[in-house]
Amino acid sequence: MKFRNRAILVTGASRGIGAAIAKAFAAEGGLVIVNYRHNEAAALGVVEACKAAGGQALAIAADVTSEAAVGAMVARIADEIGRIDAVVNNAFAPYVFDPDNRTRFWDTPWSAYQTQIDGALKATYNVCQAVLPLMKQRVQGSIVNMASDLVARPSIPYHDYTTAKAALIGFSRTLAAELGPLGIRVNCVAPGLVYPTDSSRATREEVKDMLIAQTPLRRIATVEDVTGPVLFLASDWSRFVTGQILHVDGGLVMT
């Protein structure tokens, strides 16, 4: 199994894409740290699913926008596990993809941008700062940040969310340049619309049909479609890949 004897931290892993990613790592033998913010029952359910899939798992609560909370989480990982081989920064501020009821730019306050930037960028910054010492000790590691294909193709102008993800991409590329000499790789996975998730449930069928018609593979992504690319970028199969944005949207964006 590709991730046997490896420890992987997945933030925001109690549901949706994060939960699917955690279970996929476990199915490959990984020891998965299931980070969550509030829903302990859901996180423990993911832990049990990870164990049933053949891996090991541990749930740790931490608000990743809090430097202190992230520090405490990583300190516990260092004490109980002693290593972090890969990190998937999946957590983000709550957002609803609803084209009909989205906030137009002229009605979007800066506070909405700040909330999304804190959820996407500040959270990733906190986690990367905290795990760096453990990765530097081993002169290896992989960081995978969850972005969005909306940065390359804003099919629907979700201003605050897309701006935050664009900042995350810039952060990731700069970090890849800094950490490469230390043996640490940094990449992004940029999905299109993923359905069903809590964020995408408000997306009307007409909008999904429009996106499907423009997508060469002629469907909307499921959470399982995202897991393979994440595992690839976290694995040795991509050991010479860093600073890249892997679009997972059926060909809607081609670069």
pLDDT tens by residue, the chain, 255 residues = 689 999 999 999 999 999 999 999 999 999 999 999 999 999 999 999 999 999 999 999 999 999 999 999 999 999 999 999 999 999 999 998 888 889 999 999 999 999 999 999 999 999 999 999 999 999 999 999 999 999 999 989 999 999 999 999 999 999 999 999 999 999 999 999 888 777 677 677 888 888 899 999 999 999 999 999 999 999 999 999 999 999 999 999 998
pTM for this prediction: 0.95
User: At residue 133, what is the residue type?
Assistant: P
Predicted confidence at residue 75, as pLDDT, reads 98
Ramachandran area for residue 113 (φ above 0: left; ψ -120 to 50: alpha; else beta): alpha
What six digits make up the tokens of 85? 């081989």
Residues 235/3, Cβ–Cβ less than 8 Å: yes
Residue 143 has a CB neighbour count (10 Å cut-off) of: 28
Active site residues: 161
Q: In order of start, what are the domains of the chain with their CATH numbers?
A: 7-248 (3.40.50.720)
Q: What phi and psi, each to the nearest 5 degrees, are found at residue 237?
A: -60, -25
**Cross-strand partners of 40:** none
Question: Which strand (E) or helix (H) includes residue 89?
Answer: strand 86-89
Selection from 156, 168, 44, 54 nearest residue 101 by Cα? 156
* pLDDT given for residue 100 in this prediction: 87
Are the beta carbons of 231 and 17 closer than 8 angstroms?
no
> Would you tell me the crossing angle of helices 123-138 and 159-179 to the nearest 10 degrees?
20
Residues forming beta bridges with residue 144, ordered by sequence position: 88, 187
Tokens 């957590």 sit on residue: 91
Instruction: Look at residue 3 in the predicted model and tell me its pLDDT.
Output: 96
The two three-digit tokens of residue 12, written as one number: 């925001």
Q: Residue 96: how many CB atoms within 10 A of its CB?
A: 14
Burial of 101 (0-12, 13-18, 19+ CB in 10 A): exposed
